[in-house]
A = this chain, B = another copy of it.
Amino acid sequence: MTVTIRDVARASGVHVSTVSRTFSAPHMVNAATRSRVLTVAEELGYRPNRAARALTTGRTHNLGLIVADIANPFFPPLIKAAHAAARQRDYHLFVADTDEEPAAEEELVQAFSKQVDGVVLCSPRSSNKALERLAERVPFVVINRRLRGAATVLMDVGHGARLAVEHLAGLGHTRVALVSGPAGSWTSAEIRTAAEQVPDVDLVVVGPNAPTERGGYAAAARVRDSGVTGVLAYNDLVAIGLIEGLGDLGLSVPADVSVVGIDDIVPGRLSRPKLTTVAMPTAAAGRLAVDLLIQEVTATTSLETRLVIRDSTAALR
């Protein structure tokens, strides 16, 4: 018993097309008629059916957002910002989780395709070829992955990594470990190249590691054995795990070794010692991605990162 445009038309004595226009092109209808239609619609509780509208216009006013893991603290701020940006322009947001399964990306985009005007893909792991196939089905923008031809939002983690290593160097740490992420990660590679370019620092790579607390914990022994006094970790979770692991080996942070993370997730602010970290502009990225999508502009943007100095780094004794 849902009330349609026809009910409103009948009740206000005009043709359906007039009702339609009072909602989608108000300037085309006489002010008096318009207000009459509007009040009748209000009384009847009419709400335009977006699905039906999409059928003729081809625009759904829906967007899709695909992330690897909703519960990973890195993503929620991004999702929230994307949602806010979408909402502001009267778009709705589908959110999906691939559960770290690259194959799910393609499947989800396919499934979304007819129901959204575009999708934002966060750090996609599908092959370039697969992504190109998808591009034919639906417009999308990727976050944290370089992909020619597609709209792209990058966070300049390379710059952040360099700042982090320079910060360590400035504190006197000349032997620094890079506790890297998973093999084949774009971000991990980016971090490494940037870190290697800092002069006067011996960089030793420890990894690859799982991008989790556990991964960091497991790397502790190798970090100790490498004899470094400073560490840049692939992300905050790894950093937190590493600090725990070092503690269990009798090394204290920052007294014995300084650790800096990457991401600036909430738990990093809450754990002790408070984590020095490279803040990733996840909210800005989410917001920007949906803006690009809605405005259909194909651009590649690089967002700045910055170093947040807290308590997990200190001068070399």
Residues of A within 8 A of B (CB): 2, 47-52, 54-55, 60, 62, 69-71, 73, 75-77, 79-80, 83-84, 87, 92-97, 99, 110-115, 213, 240, 266-267, 270-272
Contacting residues, chain B, for A52 (C-beta < 8 A): 51, 55
**Complex Cα distance A70/B77, Å?**
7
Contacting residues, chain B, for A115 (C-beta < 8 A): 50-51, 62, 92
Q: How far is the CB of A57 from chain B (nearest CB, A)?
A: 11
Contacting residues, chain B, for A75 (C-beta < 8 A): 76
With known contacts A267-B270, A270-B267, A271-B272, A50–B87 Cβ distance under 8 A: no
Chain B residue with minimal CB distance to A237? B270
- Besides A49-B114, A79-B95, A272-B272, 17 other A-B contacts (C-beta < 8 A): A47-B113, A47-B114, A50-B115, A52-B55, A62-B94, A62-B115, A70-B76, A71-B79, A71-B266, A73-B76, A75-B76, A92-B96, A93-B94, A213-B270, A267-B270, A271-B271, A271-B272
Contacting residues, chain B, for A92 (C-beta < 8 A): 94, 96, 111-112, 115
